[in-house]
A and B are shown apart, each in its own frame.
Chain A
Amino acid sequence: NAGVTQTPKFRVLKTGQSMTLLCAQDMNHEYMYWYRQDPGMGLRLIHYSVGEGTTAKGEVPDGYNVSRLKKQNFLLGLESAAPSQTSVYFCASSRGWGAKETQYFGPGTRLLVL
């Protein structure tokens, strides 16, 4: 039981390049989330999904797209990377919605955009 895994762990991009971050969970969770973490700002929700085939915008969705083609996978795409997207990205999953449900986080992907 691996929980939540993220690929890659670290990536360097040049401005304008594109990439996809992969998140996988083996807990059969319905809900999945993508957050970014920046110093002094905690975690901010980018996009989330309430089930296979669904996606929704979070607090800071601009510049990102997501897809949830399979229940266990949640992909985060950057079509044209910008230096402002330099951050640590965390994926999470939960059985249900809200604070009464535990969100399980992956180890993070550190992204540097030059």
Chain B
Amino acid sequence: TQLLEQSPQFLSIQEGENLTVYCNSSSVFSSLQWYRQEPGEGPVLLVTVVTGGEVKKLKRLTFQFGDARKDSSLHITAAQPGDTGLYLCAGEKGTASKLTFGTGTRLQVTL
């Protein structure tokens, strides 16, 4: 059973456009992480959110944890080709437990 569903699965946009990626679950998570994975490499951690309603910004990327801690979103403003990659969310249920990874959103940003 996949606990974390991401949408959309694929996204192809042009440079300068804005986009939002969603990570949804029916379960409550104590914290949630977002990773970016470039082709041929392993995932790299972008951010961790731990409080319901929390918003974190990383340059043009804005991450939000849902109030009920069941969902999260990643918004990219003015996308650039360097944003191309696979975006993965990963949640932790309870404290000090294993991570559950989402299904992934593959983003392509073209010139």
Contacts and interface: CB of A to CB of B under 8 A. Distances in A.
Contacts of A99: 30-33, 48, 50, 90-92, 99
Nearest to A3: B42
A82 interface: no
Contact of A41 (B48, B91, B103): B103
Contacts of A106: 42
A74 interface: no
A42 B104 contact: yes
Contacts of A40: 9, 103-104
Contacts of B9: 40
A42 B4 contact: yes
A103 interface: yes
B40 interface: yes
Most B Cβ at <10 Å: residue of A4, A58, A108: A108
Given A99-B91, A99-B92, A108 B32 contact: no
B42 A4 contact: yes
Given A41-B103, A43-B88, A102 B50 contact: no
B98 A105 contact: no
Given A42-B4, A43-B101, A98 B96 contact: yes
A34 interface: no
B43 interface: yes
Interface string B41-68: 1111100101000000000000000000
Contacts of A90: 42-43
A74 to B, nearest CB: 14
B13 to A, nearest CB: 20
21 contacts: A40-B103, A41-B103, A42-B2, A42-B101, A43-B88, A43-B90, A45-B98, A45-B99, A90-B42, A92-B42, A97-B97, A98-B31, A98-B92, A99-B30, A99-B90, A99-B91, A99-B92, A99-B99, A103-B45, A103-B99, A108-B41
Interface of B: 2, 4, 6, 9, 30-33, 40-45, 48, 50, 88, 90-92, 95-99, 101-104
